[in-house]
Amino acid sequence: MRNELFRGACFVGLIVLLAILPIGLTWAQGVSMGSQERPAEVPRDTECGHLELYCMPLYSTSRAADATGRAVLARPPTPFGVAVTREGRQRYLIDLTIEGLPPPEDLGPYTTYVVWATTPELKPIFNLGIVGNGRFETGEVSLNKFLIFVSAEPGPGGTERKGPLVLRGRSASNRMEAHGAFRIASIGIAVGSVGSESELDEAAHRHASEKDEWPPPPMHPLVSMMPGMERLRPFGESWALERTDVVDAPPAKPRQVHRMADGDSLVLRAGPVLKTVGGKTFLMYGYNDQIPGPVIEVQQATTIVVDFINDTAYPSSIHWHGLRHDNRFDGVPGVTQDAVDPGDSFRYLVHFPDAGIYWYHPHHREDIQQDLGLAGNLLVRSLDPNYLSAVDHEEILILDDFLVSDSTVVPFGGTSANYMLMGRFGNTLLVNGETRYSLTVNVGDVARFFITNVSNTRTFNLSLDGHAMKVVASDIGRFEKETWAESAAIAPAERYVVDIRFEEEGSYALVNRIQSINHQLGVFFPEIDTLGVVVVRARDRADERGAASRGLSERAVVSEEIDPFRRYFDRVPDREFELTLETKDLPPVITQFMRLD
């Protein structure tokens, strides 16, 4: 039976309120970047599809009426799942295909065609290089919304467009426009799309429980709630962990490290704790009274015994995320085991065949249990002493966010998860369960950060001011070639390992920089959250790392492991799966706003 490759495209609903995707750095410009990674969704021998996100049709002007073209947005190489700048802006390489351009001299005193990128405000404008009929890979674009122009010019090196425009197109992000009051009224969101005022009230009532247990979620300080949504409530009952339901919950303790040998045993109990976040105390869940849960550190090829005790209000389990081990102990209720009911226990035999950073968490109503604190890391040391280079510090960071209103946790869905379309974005960012992380090092030190994102839906774009990151490994092991990065874009459940060398004294902020979206205004806006600080002190001893820590390693053993699969990298898929999302019972207000987007 032949091997088949599959390609899938997933369309998962439109974000209604606050959308975030990291995107940020400086503008990069270049010509003839060489062969680059390209979105597989866009075939090279077809026109752009309807509402295509990564293919921009280029429309001709009267000066070159027979010209046609398209601009495919290709991704620059990146060790992360998405290529973004330090500030969180998406990075693209423009792959142009053009036909039908006349010789530039036919249009006047011009010698060449130049492709430009600019914002919808038409400034600034960037020269991406020379083009003509054929295919061209041009410079990098890192703008939230942008336009592509092709013009005839007297020479290739200009900084402003002077000649006649022959082709133009706009990025898909330009389709996001302001939901102004007149536009909202014109499609009948206020009343007409539902009917009368009484029908709007009835629609709102259908999305409320008999008792209003759903306080409106806290809004972003820069984004107001869309008109008509303030009256809506989710179906069903809300759920919150109440102090009246828990007797003598202990205060949460700092995370501990359990270094375990082959055959060792550990008890992990999930239960309520009192945790102070941002000066306010909340009832949450912890493993062994710790948030995050204990770090389990083992040697590669080790097997340990973990006895799990469930003292939470929900059935639960422990999923050992990323491990290759016996399926019986993978911790997925309904698939590999029955859920562990409140008050019951389950014994896991956990095997660690591969070195790396992993994590554990529930796999039943994790929207509640994980969000309330049930997550911890697994650090598996390699049997190879040269697996990674030596460093001065190792820091294990768990990134998370937490949704609170005043002094309470915003309720969860009792019978099913809420925030289904966009996920549950928190309004308080956490590192290892705290609102402010700190580390002290010396000049010349190298710190290794094992980073895990355990949030429900937030993608972090982590950077340390004044420093580059050396990306050495991810959740599937070491990279065959280490690389430098200005920031680390980390999606939920992902893990990355980065090294940072500290060259100068000072205090440096650990920052999350993203580009958020205001859907009402149809604009992106930057957000910067300081997660912590690294203090670098004067060195009181010789620099032991030196030049070695400034270089990038290539690992032949990793390349050899990948070599048998390289022939599949550029192979055309044999099958394509397209996944679509059907929704029902959405309030008319939300349905109409989604149609606007």
The whole-model pTM stands at 0.87
The angle at the Cα of 58, spanning 56 to 62, to the nearest 5 degrees, equals: 165
Gyration radius from the chain CA atoms: 27
Task: Give the SS3 label for residue 347.
Answer: strand
Question: 216, 230 in Cβ contact below 8 A?
Answer: yes
The three-point CA angle 567-571-577 to 5° equals 135
CB 552 within 8 A of CB 113: no
What residue has token string 């009267």?
62
* Tokens linked to 9: 């495209």
Nearest to 395 by CA among 361, 360, 445: 445
Tokens coding 550:
């400034």
Structure tokens at 122: 């038409």
Q: Where are the domains of the chain?
A: 31-175, 243-381, 393-556
Locate tokens 């501990």: which residue? 256
Hey, what amino acid is at 13? Answer: G
- How many CB atoms neighbour CB 213 within 10 A? 16
Structure tokens at 117: 């990128």
- The CATH label, of 1.10.8.10, 3.40.50.620, 2.60.40.420, 2.40.10.340, for the domain at 243-381 is 2.60.40.420
User: Using the 8-state DSSP alphabet, how is residue 279 labeled?
Assistant: T
CB-facing half-sphere around the CA of 199: CA atoms within 13 A: 11
Lowest mean pLDDT among 22-31, 123-132, 328-337: 22-31
Residues 486-543 have pLDDT tens digits of: 999 999 999 999 999 999 999 999 999 999 999 888 899 999 999 999 999 998 766 6
Q: What is the model's pLDDT at position 29?
A: 31
Span 356-407, pLDDT tens digits: 999 999 999 999 999 999 999 999 999 999 999 999 999 999 999 999 988 8
589 membership: H or E segment, kind and range? helix 588-596
Can you name the CATH fold of 393-556? Immunoglobulin-like (2.60.40)
* Helix (H/G/I), strand (E/B), else coil: 549: helix
Q: Which residues contact 464 (CB under 8 A, 6 or more apart)?
A: 500, 508, 509, 510, 511, 534
3-state secondary structure 121-164: CCCCEEEEEEECCEEEEEEEECCCCCEEEEEEECCCCCCCCCCC
Does 243-381 match 393-556 in CATH topology?
yes
Residue 58 has pLDDT above 80, yes or no: yes
Regarding beta strands 257-259 and 147-153, do their DSSP bridges make them parallel or antiparallel, or are they unpaired?
unpaired
Classify 243 as helix, strand or coil.
helix
The helices-and-strands tally (H runs, E runs) of the chain is 5, 35
Q: How far apart are CA 557 and CA 436, in angstroms?
A: 39
- pLDDT above 70: percentage of residues in the chain: 85
Query: At 481, is the secondary structure helix, strand, or coil?
Result: strand
| Cα separation, 463 vs 484, whole angstroms | 12
- Mean pLDDT comparison of 22-26, 417-421, 542-546, highest-scoring range: 417-421
Q: Looking at 403-476, which runs of residues are DSSP E strands?
A: 404-405, 408-409, 412-413, 428-431, 437-442, 446-453, 460-464, 469-474
The confidence score (pLDDT) of residue 544 equals 66
Look up residue 59 and give its two tokens: 């429309």
- Phi and psi for 70 in degrees, rounded to 5? -150, 150
Please state, in angstroms and as integers, the Cα–Cα distance from residue 172 to each residue in 11, 54, 67, 521, following that order. 15, 7, 21, 16
The yes-or-no verdict on residue 560 having pLDDT over 60 is yes
The answer to whether the beta carbons of residues 425 and 370 sit under 8 Å apart is no
Q: H/E element holding 203? A: helix 197-206
CB atoms within 10 A of CB 504: 11
pLDDT level of residue 45 (50, 70, 90 thresholds): very low
- For residue 71 the two structure tokens come to 């601009």
How does residue 185 score in pLDDT terms, banded at 50, 70 and 90? low
Confidence of residue 299 (pLDDT cuts 50, 70, 90): very high
Residue pair 16/422 in contact by the 8 Å Cβ criterion: yes
- Which tokens hold the place of 424? 């549950």
Question: Which residue in this structure is represented by tokens 């939901």?
Answer: 179
**Residues 449-482: pLDDT tens digits?**
999 999 999 999 999 999 999 999 999 899 999 9
Of 484, 459, 534, 529, nearest to 504 by C-alpha is: 534
pLDDT at 69 over 70: yes
For residue 123, give Cα distances in angstroms to 89, 118, 159: 17, 6, 11
Nearest to 80 by CA among 494, 438, 534: 494
Give the burial class of 169: count Cβ atoms within 10 A of its Cβ; 0-12 exposed, 13-18 middle, 19 or more buried.
buried
Q: Give residue 213's pLDDT band: very low, low, confident or very high (50, 70, 90).
A: confident
Triad 540, 546, 548: Cα angle to 5°: 150
